[in-house]
A and B are shown apart, each in its own frame.
Chain A
Amino acid sequence: MATLDSTQALAGATVPTARTRLDLSTPVMVLFTAALCVLIVLPLGWLLVFAFRDQAGRATLANFQRLLTDPTFVEPLLTTFTIAGSVSLACGAIAAPMAWLVARSDMPARNAVRIIVTASFVTPPFLGAIAWELLAAPNSGLLNQAWRAVTGAPSEEALFDIYTLTGLIFVVCCYTFPYVFVLVANALERVPGDLEDAAAMLGSSRWRTARRITIPLALPALLAGLLVAFLQAMTLFGSPAILALPAGFHTITTKIWSLFQYPPKPELAAAASLPLLVLTVVLLRAQSAILGRRSFAVVGGKGAAPRLVGLGALRWPALALCLALLCLPVFLPYGALVNAAFSKVPSQLLTLDRFTLRNFVFVFSEVSATKLAMKNTFLLGAMAATAGALMALVIAYLTSRAAGRGHRVLGFLAMAPIAVPGIVLGVGLFLAYTRPPFVLYGTLWILLLAYITIELPAAYQQMQSAFHSVHHELEEAGRIFGATRLRVLKDVTGPLLRSSLVATWCFVFVAVVRELSAAVILFTSQTKVLSVLIFDLKESGDLAAIAVLGLSMLVLTALVIVAANSLLGGGSAARLRNN
């Protein structure tokens, strides 16, 4: 292997003085593959074992037979597909135009809109669902009260009923559409301006340019976004856990959760998770077939930023539309939470008479689990984000640059957890880590493993798409000058990807703070996290306490993200971008 002279400059990157001779990518890949095997194969292996056996431990197919014939399983499965399909389409219809307005038009306050969308992503789905209960419960919901006050409708009538399938689909959409938005907005921004300019110079109309250049380049991101939305909605536990029970139905995730009530039936739960696993694998194959046919490396060593499209008189109406849409996931729910946090009665609008700080006193000085849950949550968030982002960086590098024979296996392993609902992975981890060789249940470590495993696919996807957008010619330049692959990763690709890496860190941190489905299986009284505490409070309907705890959690999360961006992300502090 060639050596690198320490005095040589390397494609604008700083070059350390140490000489590097070995290409470590193969051992690193072996190490990561082994680590992922333990992380993923162990819990999934136990799940498979449990899916094919009965309570006495004998091999059987009875679990699947029951799954396909018992209506209490078939109905939740069908309900789940209805929800996931509706959510995916609705998210695409809302997020794609909004992403275009933010990324490619001269709409005013575009960055503010982007930040607010990110804020809605930060909202845990269970908290959003609770906020929407405050807003749209048929009788006590603030919106329904307002509607009755304005129209004089009788007290039995309601404009909205959140305790329905439609209500649940709506709430899931509110907190899933940012996934699609972020993917599409970033793809649109990466469309090279010179291609569009060339088309325009050759006489192409604006619409024709959009149809032939912009849309084809952004389409894979949209399809990927729809897929992510489908998968998110299919495997979501938080919102259904809040709304499905009062609405009188189960989704597959809440059904699985109910199977762990006493007496636990992990065999059936494992079997119930396999259809989700199979379907996810099929969908991911479809996605890679769509994305795989073309090259989408559009950030090279050359190229121009895309041109913004002037909206003219439509600029302000476009902003009004965006803000109106953002009322649904952000302004209204947060308003309802603030109202509940400071009000004596959560379903009444805050007035001076009704103002109280009692709820804060209760949560912070009386609820004895608050402090511990806060500490656990933020400690785990920071640890999982750091480990997850670094792992994603290395794995994405190895797989996107096809640096070794095992890269397909590694990529598959990194993506595999996306196919497993958090609650099922929680059970798999529970089965795996309550027995030798790793007895971790009851410690924070099992939660850390769960979080890293669950968030790795998203982190990996983000880093991989970041790698895809950096053309390899820059790295090839480094390699030609004699740097090893890891050296190039550190000195060329790494700095180019720094903002992506910070964004991935934030992404994982936020996702950990709002994670409920695995934590709800894996926590013990000593390792309780905020999401589980809120879930417990929801069981007994302590809405004001939930509002206080949820808002505090979000404020602290926001502070951490701002700090991370300003410390590490250079000038991108104001723009958390999940690219």
Chain B
Amino acid sequence: MTPRSPSRRQLLKAAGAAAVVGGLPARVLSAAPPAVSATPELIAAATSEGKLNFYTAMDLPVAEKIAKAFEAKYSGIAVRVERSGSERVFQRIAQEMGSGIRNVDIVNTSDAAHVIVWKRNGWLAPFVPSDVAAHWLEQYKDPDGTWATVRIYLSVIAYNTNLVAPGDVPKSFAELLEPKWMGKLVKGHPGYSGTIMTATHQMARDLGWGYFEKLAGQKVLQVQSSTDPPKKIALGERAVQVDGGDYNVFTHKQQGAPVEVVYASEGSPTISSPNAIFAGAVNPNAARLFQCWLCSREGQQFLVDTTGQYPAHGEAKAHPSRRPLSQIKLMREDPVEVEAKADEIKARYTSIFKV
């Protein structure tokens, strides 16, 4: 439905990503508009729109908490959260845009490759909150201002502490192939979840597809969203998750569930989740105000404090009970390659896991 041929902008993005990844000094001319803060005019315009359609892949309770916090700060703007897995959000937006339905105002996806496609299609409206201009690392914002990363998290191994003895806790992805984990694993699906799509790409690149072929022999319980494996281990339905959001494990642990994160010795897949405003938004000012708020120090700190995710804002303080990213071995994220290989990854995964 949407063209996927490379374009100048994609190449710019590729250059940007390469700069992140390899530390290359790739400076490009920016087409980003001037930075904007939440001025009284913006607030008034947003309030007169009165509502906001927020499409997101965030865990629903988290997304609704954020929506409620925004509503409390700016009364008179009702946020409607449209939540499903990123790959389904992506499909939904393609279907709605293809049919001329303008419904999405602002989107948060956990598959950073999606903003590449949307931007190439000309669907995104550039908008740079002043906090993004001042406090964001280059790798977490589009040089042209069409998107900005609002949260960073990991896909991690995690386990139920009642079901796994301390001595048995797996330390690596490789250990999950041992016979003792047969029938005890749960994982998400890259056809539904952007987190898992991103993670699958990193794991297939670093560990090889052979890893997944062996994993498929372990009778893995296959669920959809990356937010579900943490729920399944919290329930005790399976002992160990192969992948799934670290912040979901964290929020379950906060609520007293017997779950614990493992940072695999091979590295943990990294996910940076961008927000983008749509050019056809019915409530453009509400979308801008929401972006300003979520990217403000206050909004970022709220996200960190309530969900334990890592902030993109340079001045927001990471959650004290989360291990700093600098002390975790990470797999390298590469949205450009995910964008190029998304269909291949889904097809290959489906042929290995039969679903």
Contact = CB atoms under 8 A, between A and B. Distances in A.
B82 A260 contact: no
A139 B237 contact: yes
A289 interface: no
Contacts of B88: 261, 539
Contacts of B277: none
Contacts of B351: 72
B92 to A, nearest CB: 8
Contact of A536 (B64, B80, B84, B104): B84
Name which of A244, A245, A545 has the most chain B CB atoms within 10 A of its CB. A245
A539 B101 contact: no
A138 B189 CA distance: 20
B355 A442 contact: no
B100 to A, nearest CB: 8
A258 interface: yes
B216 to A, nearest CB: 9
B133 interface: no
B134 interface: no
Given A264-B91, A539-B84, A541-B223, A345 B235 contact: yes
A525 B82 contact: yes
B315 interface: no
Nearest to A533: B83
A299 B336 CA distance: 71
A207 B350 CA distance: 56
Interface stretch (B40-48, B55-63, B138-146, B323-331): B55-63
A155 B183 CA distance: 12
Interface in B212-247: 219, 221-225, 227-228, 231-232, 234-238
A347 B235 contact: yes
Contacts of A248: 219, 222, 353-355
B91 A261 contact: yes
Nearest to A442: B101
A346 B346 CA distance: 32
Interface string B4-34: 0000000000000000000000000000000
A72 B354 CA distance: 8
Contacts of B257: 345
A250 B355 contact: yes
A434 B231 CA distance: 38
A260 to B, nearest CB: 7
Interface in B84-136: 84-85, 87-88, 90-92, 94-96, 98-99, 101, 103-104
Interface string A335-366: 00000000001110000000000000010001
Q: Which of A264, A366, A545 gathers most chain B CB within 10 Å?
A: A366
Contacts of B64: 362, 366-368
A362 B67 CA distance: 13
Given A244-B355, A264-B1, A540 B101 contact: no
B78 interface: yes
Contacts of B262: none
Contacts of B183: 156
Contacts of A261: 87-88, 91, 191-192, 346
Q: Which of B60, B68, B221 has the most CB of A within 10 A?
A: B60
Contacts, number: 133
Contacts of A139: 236-238
Given A140-B236, A245-B189, A442-B96, A536 B83 contact: yes
A163 interface: yes
Interface string B285-303: 0000000000000000000
A263 interface: yes
B191 A540 contact: no
B36 interface: no
A163 B235 contact: no
Contacts of B98: 434
Given A249-B354, A264-B1, A347 B80 contact: no
A245 B257 CA distance: 26
A250 B351 CA distance: 12
A369 interface: yes
A71 to B, nearest CB: 9
Interface in A533-560: 536-537, 539-543, 545
Nearest to B57: A540
A429 B116 CA distance: 31
Interface of A: 72, 75, 137-140, 155-156, 163, 244-246, 248-250, 258, 260-264, 345-347, 362, 366-369, 372, 434, 441-442, 524-526, 536-537, 539-543, 545
8 contacts: A140-B236, A140-B237, A244-B355, A261-B346, A262-B91, A368-B80, A540-B227, A541-B231
Interface of B: 1, 53, 55, 59-61, 64-65, 67-68, 78-85, 87-88, 90-92, 94-96, 98-99, 101, 103-104, 163, 183, 189, 191-192, 219, 221-225, 227-228, 231-232, 234-238, 257, 343, 346, 350-351, 353-355
Given A441-B101, A542-B61, 4 more contacts: A248-B353, A539-B88, A540-B228, A541-B228
User: Top 6 closest A-B pairs, CB basis?
Assistant: A541-B228, A140-B237, A540-B225, A541-B231, A262-B91, A442-B101
